[in-house]
Structure 1
Amino acid sequence: MWRELIDELYPEAELPAPADEATIVEIEKVLSLPLPFELGSLLGECNGVYNQYGDAVVWSAERVIEDNLAMRNEPDSLELYAPFHELIFFGDSDMGPQFAYVHTDYGPGIIVWDQETDQRRLAVVSLRDYLVRCLTQGNGWFRSTVRPPGSR
């Protein structure tokens, strides 16, 4: 399903082999959060997705673990940012912002996080919508979801 969607959106994409099932299961165990079904499903088909610029639109399962643990345990992050323990970061843009799942009362949503301001804004509600935007609208589609500090 995911490979077909990505091929439709971005036919030039070279998709890696599926992630190892044990590594996908390890994400939940290590991060102590439920892995959204759609992310686990995508990683089970291809271990990461890259756009035409080489950005890791979806990180590999190994990077999901490594980067999330690093962000949660980095002393500077603990001082500079609100806690990350309720987020699962899974992708980024060369423009700086990173994308993460956040669990809400209505289920998981995908936020964009700006490391300069620590601003966290809901970007999309599904991985499918996220991929459509990343692979068809290019870098910067998420800017409309991020507002300058102090704006409403």
Structure 2
Amino acid sequence: MWREAAAAALPDAEFRAPVDAAALADAERRLGGRLPAQLTALLSETDGMVGEYGTDIIWPLDHIVEQNLLFRSPDTFPGLYMPFDPLLFFGDNSGGDRFAFVVTPERPDIFVWDHETDSRLWAARELEDYLHRALAGDGDWW
């Protein structure tokens, strides 16, 4: 389903091998909570997704875990940004802005975090909407 949704928006989208259940369970253990169901379903089909110009529309699972642990660490950006604990980053625009699910409180919407202003803006109503917008859009489509 996810590969088809991506290919409909960008026929040249690149896919990776799927993630197995053990890797997903390990990621959830390391992050201390469940991944959003839509993201888990997508990762079960492809370990990330690459759009135009090599942009990681969806990061590989290892990168998702690494980046979220980094951003949630109290030593990474002390006092510089609002807390990142309510967010689960999963992709970027290759310019520093990152896309995330809100996991506390859990909701299907996708937000973009602007690294220059620390703003968190609504970007898409759910993951399929995000894929369509990110893959078919030009530049700062949000």
**Is this a same-fold pair by TM over 0.5?**
yes
Instruction: Say whether the 8 Å CA contact 1:2–1:42 is kept in structure 2.
Output: yes
For residues 72-111 of structure 1, what are the alpha-carbon distances to aligned partners after superposition, in whole Å with 9 as ceiling and x for unaligned? 1262413211111121100000232100110365723211
Asked if residue 134 in structure 1 is aligned to residue 139 in structure 2, the reply is: no
Letter in 1 for 2:21: E
Give the match's secondary structure for 2:128.
helix
* Secondary structure in structure 1 of the residue aligned to 2:19: coil
The match for 1:111 is 111
Cα distance in 1 for residues equivalent to 2:119 and 2:11: 33
Matches within 5 A, 1:38-77: 38-73=38-73, 75-77=75-77
Give runs of aligned pairs for residues 2-151 of structure 1, distance below 5 A.
Answer: 2-73=2-73, 75-103=75-103, 107-142=107-142
Distance 1:78 1:44 in 2: 35
| Greater radius of gyration (CA) | 1
**As a proportion of its length, which structure holds more helix?**
1
- The CA deviation at 1:46 is 0.3
Mind listing any 5+ residue stretches in structure 2 that lack a counterpart? none
Higher relative contact order (CA 8 A, sep 6+): 2
Sequence identity (%): 41
Structure 1: tracts of 5 or more residues without a match: 143-152
